[in-house]
Amino acid sequence: MPAIPLTTPPLAPQTRHTLLQLGIANTSALRRTGPAAAFLLLKAAGLTVTESTLWQLVLLAEGRTGHLNDGEKAQWRSRLRAHRPVAVFPPADDMAHWMRQALQQAGQAAAAGEVPVGAVVVRRGEIVGSGANACISGHSVCRHAEILALTEAGRKLGNYRLDGCDLYVTLEPCSMCAGAIMQSRIRRLVYAAAEPKSGAAGSVLDLFAHKALNPHTAVLGGILADESSRLLQRFFNERRQDKPAT
């Protein structure tokens, strides 16, 4: 299906303008994002939109004209209710900057003999909490980088609810950390490398999309993923080399 630029009409001028700002300039980008996600992103960007906008987005994504029938509308309403939280994320350069701070924490963990995972909590352009894996030195499975960063941020801000804060972590969180992130009401989670064995943000399961858990956190992965993966691979390669032969 060809990529057709989004135009006015059928979209309202402000709707089209906001979609362009979000990087959704044509029907191909709209299909990749998904009509429901695009609709929620418009709302997250502060635009007042009604269901009619969702119907327009569905028709554009599917290359159709005319109208949706009642059954189709009901299906899309259901998809909208079930959709994971979305947010407008910072520019790529900004996210890379904060992820590098998290990678510094991961490097500190590696130097201490810990699995190299680091995390930072950012609020209004300032790091308010940071953490590096410390399970071995702390003799506790709970001392994951994310937990330590959330704890430090809570102490600094005087509140365990971290509304308006973003968390940057070098590895997709596990289920324990995902639960803590949701409970802390982190606004946006940005992670670097996916964790195919225990990732709880989409790799093994997606707790952030589980409506029964009342999720509030929007998730984006893949920021400086290669740098994080190389750090992890180097750490585990060195560990295997240091292991005595049997």
Residues with catalytic function: 146
Compute CA 139 distance to the chain's CA centroid, rounded to the nearest angstrom.
29
Task: Specify which residues 167 forms β-bridges with.
Answer: 121, 189
Provide CB contacts within 8 A for 133, sequence distance 6+. Answer: 106, 109, 114, 115, 116, 117, 118, 143, 144, 145
Which positions make up the binding site? 144, 174, 177
Distance CA 234, CA 2 (A): 43
DSSP 216: -
Q: Token digits for 14?
A: 């402000």
Q: Can you say whether the dihedral through the CA atoms of 22, 25, 27, 32 is positive or negative?
A: negative
Q: Which of 230, 189, 237, 223 is nearest to 209 (CA)?
A: 189
Task: Tell me the three state secondary structure of residue 79.
Answer: helix
Task: Tell me the three state secondary structure of residue 142.
Answer: coil
Place of tokens 């209710």: 81
Which positions make up the binding site for Zn(2+)? 144, 174, 177
Q: Token digits for 214?
A: 């009342």
CB count within 10 Å of CB 177 equals 27
Distance CA 19, CA 245 (A): 58
